[in-house]
Amino acid sequence: MDDALYFPAHGRRLRRWALLSLVNLAVVAALGLLLRYKGAFCLPGVNYKYLLNAHSHFAFSGWVTTALFVGMLHVLVRSGGSLRRVYRWLFWFNQLASGGMLVSFMVQGYGPVAIVFSALSVVFTYWFAFCYWRDSGRCSLPPVVLLCLRLALVFLVLSSAGPYLLAYSMSHHLGDMVFYYNSIYLYLHFQYNGWFSFGVMGMFFWMLHERGVSIGDCGFRWFVGLMGAACVPAYGLSLLWMGPPVWLRVVAASAGVMQVVAVVVLGRCLWMRRPGPFGLLWTLSIVAFVIKILLQALSVIPSLGAFAFGFRPVIIGYLHLVVLGFVSFFLLEFFTRTGLSAEPVGPARWGLSCFVLGVIGNELVLLVQSGLAMAGVAWMAAPYYLLVVALLMFAGMLGYVIGRPVTKFMPAVDGG
């Protein structure tokens, strides 16, 4: 594709959208800081549950979904597609839904206004999936990349079943907490292990292709096939907390094993292709992905599963491992490598370093807290350490956004 046709119009727009997604990440970090402050001290007038709902919903929609949207559009356009007007509408539609959820959840929690904006977010899901599925088929995307991105869209749509089930539970006043929590886990599973994971995989394989790495052999196809086949039955791993029947444990265990085998296959493919150094953020992202897969597989063991579902720090640590360690680290480096964001220098570089240290520190504190809880020891100082690392993440991301150098052009894709 002729870069002269791409960079002036589409490049500037995608860079602005990428910047806004980074601003949204800074807002997510600010909300996390408020949550940690309220956990350590008193914050009168702020409902912790409302703030938590706003934090999680905006993290999913305002940051991750927006960043994946921008990254996938970059891949689409660089592969011969067009940044049609509908995508401009979709971008601002998602920002409206995300901002609306941010404010309404903070004010009223799961109230009527928040439900309306959540419904708008679901509309965006269907609209974007339809448009991107159609347009991606008209581009020169490598088959493995196309399969990953389309699986991401499928699981994005499937994740919307969670809010529907929650709405059904509330409207019919079921009062069944098992049904309630499993509906939430359904949404989280297909977001984390479907939409987020396959979106990242698709963009990662596309970058390998742009570097000149052959991704058309059976090894990469086996990896995507195993991960795709395991995704739906892997939902059973989220149901182990309620003591399911043996057959469901077998299905969940089989999915966990398939994912571990897939990671081994991917590792072998990368070792044989030797695509070169990935950089710190992508290295950390790959490590987080491997840990994620191993933790899912180990949760089948009853004693470890009871530990994972029984201690809140373990759950929070896992969620942050995926969203921050795996997904966010990848997206931040993807933006830099593709020119969607300028190479961080000076204050921006220091800010990014602080953010990375904050994420790692957060995982370590939660790990220690979980270990002590398993031993029956309450770590009373944990909220203060969590507040410190939350401050580090917020200050780091704020410095990264404010200190980013402004570029007048979009450099070529790494290896392209």
Q: Quickly state the pLDDT bin for 360 (edges 50, 70, 90).
A: very high
Are 215 and 317 part of one and the same domain?
no
Indicate whether 314 pLDDT > 60: yes
Taking only the tens place, the pLDDT of each residue in 71-110 is 999 999 999 888 889 999 999 999 999 999 999 999 988 8
Are 209 and 329 part of one and the same domain?
no
* Candidate from 197-211, 294-308, 369-383 with smallest mean pLDDT: 294-308
Res 168: pLDDT? 76
Please give the residue that has the higher pLDDT: either 14 or 43: 14
Q: Is 304 part of any domain?
A: no
Q: Is 133 part of any domain?
A: yes
Q: Is 415 part of any domain?
A: no
Q: Is 288 part of any domain?
A: no
How many residues are there in the chain? 416
Q: Quickly state the pLDDT bin for 366 (edges 50, 70, 90).
A: very high
Task: Collapse the DSSP code of 20 into the 3-class scheme (helix H, G, I; strand E, B; otherwise coil) and give the result.
Answer: helix
Average pLDDT over residues 11-22: 92
Q: CA 16 to CA 13: how far, in whole Å?
A: 5
Are 3 and 130 part of one and the same domain?
yes
Average pLDDT over residues 146-152: 96
Q: Quickly state the pLDDT bin for 172 (edges 50, 70, 90).
A: low
Q: CA 67 to CA 241: how far, in whole Å?
A: 32
How many helices (H) does the chain have, and how many strands (E)? Answer: 18, 0
Are 123 and 206 part of one and the same domain?
no
What mean pLDDT value characterizes the chain?
Answer: 88
Res 12: pLDDT? 84
Res 175: pLDDT? 64
Indicate whether 5 pLDDT > 50: no
> Count of domains in the chain?
3
Domain C-terminal end among 105, 137, 169: 137
Are 146 and 270 part of one and the same domain?
yes
Are 9 and 123 part of one and the same domain?
yes
Q: Quickly state the pLDDT bin for 272 (edges 50, 70, 90).
A: confident
Q: Is 303 part of any domain?
A: no
Q: Other CB atoms closer than 10 Å to residue 31's CB: what's the count?
A: 21
Q: CA 335 to CA 344: how far, in whole Å?
A: 11
Res 171: pLDDT? 66
Q: CA 332 to CA 346: how far, in whole Å?
A: 17
Res 6: pLDDT? 47
Q: Other CB atoms closer than 10 Å to residue 242's CB: what's the count?
A: 12
Owner of token pair 């940690």: 36
Are 133 and 161 part of one and the same domain?
no
Are 241 and 196 part of one and the same domain?
yes
Contact 386, 33 (CB under 8 A): no
Indicate whether 409 pLDDT > 50: no
Q: Is 15 part of any domain?
A: yes
Would you state the torsion angle of the CA atoms of residues 202, 204, 207, 212, taken in this order, to the nearest 10 degrees?
-100
Res 412: pLDDT? 41
Q: Is 292 part of any domain?
A: no
Res 3: pLDDT? 41
Q: Is 3 part of any domain?
A: yes
Res 310: pLDDT? 66
Q: Which domain holds residue 335?
A: 311-407
Contact 204, 407 (CB under 8 A): no
Q: CA 354 to CA 343: how far, in whole Å?
A: 16
- What percent of the chain clears pLDDT 70, i.e. is strictly above it? 91
Domain C-terminal end among 137, 159, 175: 137
Are 272 and 170 part of one and the same domain?
yes
- What percent of the chain clears pLDDT 90, i.e. is strictly above it? 61
* Tokens coding 321: 């491992």
Are 104 and 186 part of one and the same domain?
no
Distance from CA of residue 408 to its chain's centroid?
Answer: 29
Q: CA 68 to CA 206: how far, in whole Å?
A: 14
* Tokens coding 105: 């959840």
Are 98 and 185 part of one and the same domain?
no
Are 146 and 131 part of one and the same domain?
no
Domain C-terminal end among 249, 276, 303: 276
